[in-house]
């Protein structure tokens, strides 16, 4: 019970801070005079450190406890928000996004690995984590919208304070020992994780969810305000999307009963299809909200089942590496998605068309991958 309270509170506070930052950073960039294309590239920069951090976490988990990664992530997010609160110059945006990217990588891979090492089954543990994370991502954009309506800088300070409050809570989390590799039998053939169907397919599920998150973090607030709506409305739309993702995470164990393959297809179609339609309907908030909710439900299913299925397809000593590998797929998607939209904006007639094309293309690999042994459970 004590561990559940501490981990839940840590996840909740981090998610509020992150939820605020995802709304505030693109709005601050836009108000500072950066173009829509430039906003996408600035947001996409955070994925560079996500990729680097996640790519190296497999080895680091053999040396450090998962609690260490969570502590570092909280510090990085706090520093990221403080920096942008102090200055909105180009170098500050780049450094801030690099810090936030590393913080995201260490936090989500660290917490996912931390919770599945407890007594609960992987799907249940990740469902609880994602629901808690989802609630924080609901609260964050609302706070960002109303405080940011008064002052974007003040809202960034609030985000930094909330993230910093989680540090003392995290320090009391259970310290799970680093992973220990299993001794191999003489002549035993070891298949790399990146060649195992269950891990790769789960990675593509994570990539589809990452594309949805990349669009939400970069272009949704800007597109909402460009459609003539206020900053608080942009915050509420982001909250609505996160609420839907929360529902998708809660529903993931039920969807899983239809089979791993069906779960992956349902989640991917809802996430990509919903956001691809939503971007054309932002002048009508009701219909835009319907398709935004649809996409969020799919993303919630994917971001819960992807790591769970991937971790179930490997041995206990490889779970940390598998989750880090799946997270790398997501991080690459978070990099490519906003940057691809930003590039297409220069050649296509509208940002909505660019966003729709990228959303649909992101779904293709997840729809045709095999889940291997997990598929037959």
SS3 string, 352-367, reads: HHHHHHHHHHHHHHHH
Any alpha helices (H) in 61-89, and if so which ranges?
66-86
What span, in angstroms and rounded, lies between the C-alpha atoms of 274 and 356? 10
Q: Give yes or no for residue 371 having a pLDDT over 60.
A: no
Contact call for residues 192 and 210 (beta carbons, < 8 A): no
- Asked whether residue 110 is assigned to any structural domain, the reply reads yes
| Mean pLDDT score of the chain | 83
CATH number at residue 114: 1.20.1250.20
Does residue 183 belong to any structural domain of this protein?
A: no
> Is 54 in a helix, a strand, or coil?
helix
The CA dihedral of 108, 336, 304, 370, to the nearest 10 degrees, is -130
pLDDT score, position 118: 66
Q: Return the closest-CA partner of residue 198 out of 369, 9, 21.
A: 369
Tell me phi and psi for residue 283, to 5 degrees.
Answer: -70, -25
DSSP 130-146: HHHHHHHHHHHHHHHHH
- CA–CA separation, 338 and 330 (whole Å): 13
- Within a domain: 186: no
Displacement of CA 295 from its chain's centroid (Å): 14
The mean per-residue pLDDT over the stretch 103-124 comes to: 78
* Nearest CA among 298, 274, 296, 278 for reference residue 288: 278
Residue-wise pLDDT tens digits, 187-204: 556 666 667 777 888 888
Q: Which tens digit of pLDDT belongs to each residue from 134-151?
A: 888 778 888 888 888 888
Q: What is the pLDDT of residues 165-187, one digit of tens each?
A: 999 988 888 777 776 665 555 55
Whether 59 shows a pLDDT value over 70: the answer reads: yes
CA-closest candidate to residue 105, choices 133, 80, 148, 73:
73
| 185 domain residue, yes or no | no
pLDDT band at residue 376 under the 50/70/90 scheme: very low
Tell me the two tokens of residue 260. Answer: 């791993």
Strands (E), 105-167: none
pLDDT for 322 equals 79
Kindly state whether residue 169 falls inside one of the protein's structural domains. yes
- Residue 317 belongs to some domain of the structure: yes
The backbone torsions φ and ψ at residue 258, rounded to the nearest 5 degrees and listed phi first, read -80, 0
Is 201 domain-assigned? yes
For residues 46 and 11, the model is more confident at 11
Which sign does the torsion angle of CA 369, 266, 120, 100 carry?
positive
Domain count, the chain: 1
Whole domain around residue 168: which residue ranges?
2-175+193-376
Is residue 182 one of the residues assigned to a domain? no
Nearest to 137 by CA among 273, 235, 267, 4: 235
């Amino acid at each position: 019970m004590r561990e559940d309270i501490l981990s839940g509170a840590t996840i909740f506070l981090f998610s509020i801070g992150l939820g605020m930052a995802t709304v505030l950073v693109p709005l601050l960039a836009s108000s500072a005079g950066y173009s829509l294309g430039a906003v996408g590239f600035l947001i996409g920069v955070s994925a560079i450190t996500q990729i680097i951090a996640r790519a190296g976490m497999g080895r680091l988990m053999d040396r450090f406890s998962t609690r260490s990664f969570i502590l570092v992530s909280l510090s990085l997010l706090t520093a990221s928000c403080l920096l942008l609160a102090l200055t909105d110059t180009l170098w500050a945006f780049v450094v801030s996004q690099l810090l936030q990217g590393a913080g995201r990588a260490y936090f989500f891979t660290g917490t996912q690995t931390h919770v599945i090492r407890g007594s609960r089954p992987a799907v249940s543990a990740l469902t609880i984590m994602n629901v808690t994370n989802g609630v924080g991502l609901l609260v964050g954009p609302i706070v960002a919208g109303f405080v940011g309506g008064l002052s974007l800088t003040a809202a960034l300070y609030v985000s930094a304070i909330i993230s910093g409050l989680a540090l003392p809570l995290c320090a009391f989390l259970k310290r799970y020992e680093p992973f220990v590799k299993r001794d191999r039998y003489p002549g035993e053939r070891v298949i790399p994780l990146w060649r195992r169907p269950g891990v790769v397919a789960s990675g593509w599920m994570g990539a589809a969810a990452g594309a949805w998150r990349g669009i939400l973090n970069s272009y949704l607030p800007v597109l909402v305000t460009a459609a003539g709506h206020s900053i608080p409305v942009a915050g509420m739309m982001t909250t609505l999307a996160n609420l839907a993702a929360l529902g998708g995470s809660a529903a993931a164990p039920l969807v899983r009963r239809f089979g791993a393959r069906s779960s992956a297809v349902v989640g991917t179609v809802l996430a990509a299809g919903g956001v691809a339609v939503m971007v054309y309907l932002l002048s009508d908030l009701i219909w835009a909200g319907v398709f935004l909710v649809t996409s969020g439900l799919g993303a919630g299913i994917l971001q819960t089942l992807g790591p769970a299925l991937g971790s179930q397809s490997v041995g206990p000593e490889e779970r940390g590496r598998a989750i880090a590998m799946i997270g790398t797929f997501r991080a690459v998607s978070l990099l490519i998605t906003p940057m691809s939209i930003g590039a297409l904006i220069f050649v296509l007639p509208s940002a909505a068309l660019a966003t729709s094309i990228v959303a649909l293309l992101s779904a293709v690999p997840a729809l045709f991958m095999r889940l291997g042994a997990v598929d037959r459970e």
